[in-house]
Structure 1
Amino acid sequence: MKRICYFVNWAQYRKGNGKHTYTEIDPELCSHVIIAFVAMTEDSHQLKATEWNDEDTETTVGVYSHVTDLKIKHPALKVMLAIGGWNFGTEKMSAMLATKSTRTVFVNDVVRFLRTRNFDGFDLDFEYPARRGSPPEDKGRFALLCKELREKFEEEAEQTSKPRLLLSAAVGCGKSTMDAAYDVPELAKYLDWIGLMSYDMEYSSKGVTKHHSALFPREDEPAGDKKLCIEWVVNYWMTKGAPAEKLVVGMAFYGKSFTLRSAAKHSVGDPKSGPGLQGPITITAGFMAYFEVCAGLKDGWTRSWIDTQKVPYAYNNTQWIGYDDAESMKEKAIWAASKGLGGWMVWDLAMDDFGAHYCGLGKYPLLHALNDNTPR
C-alpha cells in the first residue's frame, strides 16, 4: 500500500516548535513525499516555484533538491510535486484548461520542470473543476488534461528510457463536488492514484458539532450528514467507476473546532455557535494541528471517543474539537487495507508531533500509527 506524505513549504515560517523543514522528513515512514505547492505563471501556463528557497541558487541548495536528495539513501522513495490547493483558486486553472493549445503548453512545461529538478511525478490539486467559479466544461477539460499528461509522460519515458513520471490527483469528497467536478472512469484510467481529501467534512445541516474526518456515519445524523464520512466517500467513488486499488484515503493530521452554545452540552451533535478559537501556532480559527490538540489535552481538555465513528474529540469549557489520534489512525489504516484500497495520504507532515515536543509519544506518533498498521 502507498504511504503518501505531503510536505508543505510554508511550515518553515511557523514559530518555535511548530517550525517544520525538510530536515524533519523521515523517509522510512513514507513511500512517496509530495511537496506542496508549486505555482503557475499568470498567463503563460508554466510552473514556477512558490517560496524563495524552493530552488537552488549559485550559492545555496533549495528545498526541492534537499527533498529529492533523500532518494540517494532511500532509492525506493518517490518525490513528487503538487500544484493547486485551496488558495490557488480556479482562475488560472480554467485559463490553462481552456484549449488544447493552452493545455499542451502546460503539459510540456510540467515534464521540463519535473525532469530538470529530479522529481518522480506530479500531483494535481485543483479545487475544484466546475466549482468555485470554474465553468461546467472544466469537468471534461480536467479529465482531458489527465489524459494528455499521462500520454506525454508515457511518450517521454519511451524516448528517454527513464521510468515514467507518476500522475495523481487530490480530489474533493462532498457529493455535489464529486458529481460536478470529476469524470471518474476517465480519471481512473489515466491517474496512478486518486487521493481522496476525506477530511473537512464537518458541515452539519443542523448547526451542531460534527467530526470532520469520521470513518463511519453516526446513526442519529440526518441522512445528508451520513454522506460526510470516509466509508461513504470511498464507496461512492467506487460506484462511480474508481477501482479500490486506485483510491488513496486522506488522513488529517489536524482537527476542526467549534465554539459550543453551552459548556454543559459538549457531545458530538450538540449545538455550536461558530468556529473554535485559533491554535497558538497555526493561528487559524476553527482549526488546530494535532500537536496543538496534544498541548490542549495536557492543559486540561477532556478527550472522548465516538465509538460508532472510530474517532476522538476533545472539549474544554465552550471549546470543542474533532481530531485524529493514534487510535483512530490505526482504525483507518486497518479499514483501508481491508477494503483493498491503494493506500493513504497524510495532510500534512508538519501537523503531526514531528519533533516529539507535545504528545509524549515520540516523533510522528500519527504517522507511526498508520505505518504500524499498513501492510507493505
Structure 2
Amino acid sequence: MWKLNLLFLIGVVTLQEGLGDMQEHAVCQAPKRKDAHPLYCDQYYLCLPSAPLMKTCLSDTLYDEKRQTCLSKRRTKCTPGKILSTDAKKNLFGSCKRVICSYSGYSFQPESIDPLLCSHIHFLRYGYLNEKGLHLVSPDVNQTAKELVEMKKGHPHLKLMVTLQPIWKMSYEKLAAVKELRDFFLKSAAKVVREMQFDGLIIIWWLPHWKGNLYSELLKQTMIFLQAEAHASNLPRLLLSHHVGARRYLSYNHYNIATLHPHIDYTVIMASNMAGGWHSVIGHHSLLSEVGDVIDIWISKGYPRDKLVIGIPTFGRSFKLKDVSQTNLGAPAAGHGKLILPGVALYGAPPFTRICQLLSTGKATVVHSTVAAAPYLYYKDFWLGYEDADSVFYKTRYVIDRNLGGIYINDLENDDFAGQYCGLGVFPLLSSALDACRM
C-alpha cells in the first residue's frame, strides 16, 4: 500500500500514557479506523497497521463513539463510566495552518457542521453582481448565510468567506481593465459581505488573461480597496482569497505568480480536476505527483509556502474504459463513466457517499495507486478515481511536511456528513484530515 511507509513510521511512535489501559481493555480488535479509549471520553485510538496510536481531542471537545470523531461538548456527551483526561489540546488544527471547508448548502443545513471542524468556510452558492446589483442564486441562500453566522457565534477562529461572481456586462477581465466597473463592483461586494457579517471575499477567475497581468492588477486593486474600506469603516479588513487551477500550464501561462502574494491572504490550488472523461486516457483527478509539480512552480516563483492551500476532493472522477482488459492509469478511455446498479448510480463526478455505496456491494475491484497516492476502482467498463480516509490522511501529512498553508476540503456535502453510508462516522474524509493535522 502506498501509505504504509508513512503510517508505519507514525504507528511505532505510540504514546506511553494509557498503554496499560489499552492492554487491559483491548482496542482496535475489529477492522476499523478508530476506536474509543476505554477510560477517557476525550481520547481515542487511530488503528494504524503497526499499532494503535492514542490521540487526545481538543479542549471543549469529546470523542463521539457513534460518529467516530471529536465533537464540541454541546453535540455529544461523555459516555457513562468514563472521565476526562488532563491532556486536552489547545491548538484547534494542530500542524495545519488552515482547514478550509467548501460548503454550498444544498444537502444539509449549517447546524450539521460542528464549528470546531473548520478554520474557514467558503460559501460558494450565494449570488452574482452586475451593474443592476446583487442577484441571489436562490431565495433560500440568505437564510443559509444567517445560519452560518449564527453557527459561528462563540467561535472567533472560524472565518466565513463568500464568492460574488461578476456577470453580464461585467467580467473579471473587464473589472481588471476598467476602473469605473471595478470600483462599482468592489464597493457593492464589500457592502454585501459586511451586511452578511462574513469575513472575506473569494475571487474565482479560472482562466485569467494570458500571462496573468490583468489578474495581478485585479488582485492588487482589490486589496487596495479592502484596506481603504477597512480604514474608512473602522472595521477589520475583509480577507481576500482566490482559487486557481492545479495544472502546470496554468501556473506557467495564466498567473503572474511573482506579483501576487502581497495582494492576497491565501491561494487555494484546486487539485481536483486534473483528469476526467474529457481526456482520451485514464487519469486520476487529484494526482499527487502533478500537485507537487504545481506547488514547486509557485514556490520557485517566490510565492510564500504558508499562503498555499491545497484542495482535496470529496468526489471522484469517472471514465468509460475503452478496453476492459486495460484498467491502469494511462489506459485508453472512451469518455465519462456511468454505472447503474440496484440502489446506486454513479456517473461523472460522484460524491464519496455514492462511492461508499458501490464499495459496500463488493462488486468493484479497488487498487491503491502509489503514483496517485489515492485509490481507484473499476467494474466492467466503469473506472473511478477517488479519495478515501487513508489517502486524505496521507495528503494532509504531505501538506504539513512541506510547510504549506493548509488544506481545502472540496466539499463538505460530498463527504458522509451524517455517517450513513461509509461506516466511518460523520465527515470521515474531513475527520481523517483533522487526525493528520493533530498528530
TM range (shorter): 0.7 to 0.9
For 1:360, the equivalent position in structure 2 comes to 423
Contact 1:107 1:148 in 2 (8 A): no
Distance in structure 1 (CA, Å) of the matches to 2:301 and 2:277: 24
Q: 1:265 aligns with which of 319, 326, 343?
A: 326
Distance in structure 2 (CA, Å) of the matches to 1:23 and 1:164: 27
For 2:98, the equivalent position in structure 1 comes to 2
Deviations 1:24-68 (A, max 9, x none): 222211000110033334445x4432221112xxxxxx1111111
Contact 2:279 2:333 in 1 (8 A): no
Contact 1:93 1:126 in 2 (8 A): yes
For 1:54, the equivalent position in structure 2 comes to 141
Give the drift of 1:160: 3.1
For 2:48, the equivalent position in structure 1 comes to none
Q: 1:20 aligns with which of 108, 117, 123?
A: 108
Of 272-281 and 160-169, the range deviating more from structure 2? 272-281
Of 261-270 and 352-361, the range deviating more from structure 2? 261-270
Contact 2:122 2:162 in 1 (8 A): yes
Q: 1:291 aligns with which of 348, 353, 367?
A: 353
Is residue 76 from structure 1 mapped to residue 76 from structure 2 by the alignment?
no
For 2:313, the equivalent position in structure 1 comes to 252
Distance in structure 2 (CA, Å) of the matches to 1:284 and 1:140: 41
Distance in structure 2 (CA, Å) of the matches to 1:203 and 1:71: 36
Q: 1:99 aligns with which of 175, 178, 185?
A: 178
For 2:118, the equivalent position in structure 1 comes to 30
Which amino acid letter does the alignment assign opposite residue 319 of structure 2?
Answer: F
Give the drift of 1:121: 0.4
Of 153-162 and 255-264, the range deviating more from structure 2? 153-162
Contact 1:6 1:347 in 2 (8 A): yes
Q: CA RMSD in A?
A: 2.6
Of 31-40 and 243-252, the range deviating more from structure 2? 31-40
Is residue 371 from structure 1 mapped to residue 398 from structure 2 by the alignment?
no
Distance in structure 1 (CA, Å) of the matches to 2:256 and 2:141: 33
Is residue 322 from structure 1 mapped to residue 385 from structure 2 by the alignment?
yes
For 1:211, the equivalent position in structure 2 comes to 284
SS of residue matched to 1:28: coil
Contact 1:37 1:84 in 2 (8 A): no
TM-score by length of 1: 0.84
Distance in structure 2 (CA, Å) of the matches to 1:37 and 1:307: 35
Distance in structure 2 (CA, Å) of the matches to 1:155 and 1:84: 22
For 1:220, the equivalent position in structure 2 comes to none
Contact 2:389 2:428 in 1 (8 A): yes
SS of residue matched to 1:292: helix
Give the drift of 1:109: 1.2
Q: 1:339 aligns with which of 390, 402, 414?
A: 402
Contact 1:150 1:167 in 2 (8 A): yes
Of 357-366 and 142-151, the range deviating more from structure 2? 142-151
For 1:309, the equivalent position in structure 2 comes to 372
SS of residue matched to 1:373: helix
Deviations 1:313-362 (A, max 9, x none): 01111111010011110111101011110001111111011111111101
Which amino acid letter does the alignment assign opposite residue 101 of structure 2?
Answer: C
Is residue 230 from structure 1 mapped to residue 291 from structure 2 by the alignment?
yes
For 1:63, the equivalent position in structure 2 comes to 144
Q: How many residues align?
A: 341
Distance in structure 2 (CA, Å) of the matches to 1:153 and 1:283: 46
Which amino acid letter does the alignment assign opposite residue 367 of structure 2?
Answer: S
* Structure 2: segments with no counterpart, 5+ residues: 1-96
Q: 2:193 aligns with which of 80, 93, 114?
A: 114
Which amino acid letter does the alignment assign opposite residue 316 of structure 2?
Answer: G
Give the drift of 1:308: 3.3
Distance in structure 2 (CA, Å) of the matches to 1:233 and 1:279: 36
Q: 2:234 aligns with which of 147, 161, 170?
A: 161
Contact 1:279 1:292 in 2 (8 A): no
Contact 2:129 2:185 in 1 (8 A): no
Taking a change above 3 Å as real, the CA distance of residues 188 and 26 of structure 1, as seen in their structure-2 partners, is same
Distance in structure 2 (CA, Å) of the matches to 1:374 and 1:90: 44
Deviations 1:123-174 (A, max 9, x none): 11122212xxxxx48x322222211221222222233332221100000122
Contact 2:242 2:266 in 1 (8 A): yes
Give the drift of 1:21: 2.9
Contact 1:253 1:347 in 2 (8 A): yes
Which amino acid letter does the alignment assign opposite residue 28 of structure 1?
Answer: L
User: How high is the sequence identity, in percent, across the aligned residues?
Assistant: 28
Contact 2:276 2:318 in 1 (8 A): no
Deviations 1:252-297 (A, max 9, x none): 0111011112333222222222111168999884211111111111
Distance in structure 1 (CA, Å) of the matches to 2:181 and 2:340: 42
Is residue 141 from structure 1 mapped to residue 204 from structure 2 by the alignment?
no
TM-score by length of 2: 0.72
Contact 2:374 2:386 in 1 (8 A): yes
* Structure 1: segments with no counterpart, 5+ residues: 12-18, 56-61, 131-135, 217-228
Give the drift of 1:242: 1.1
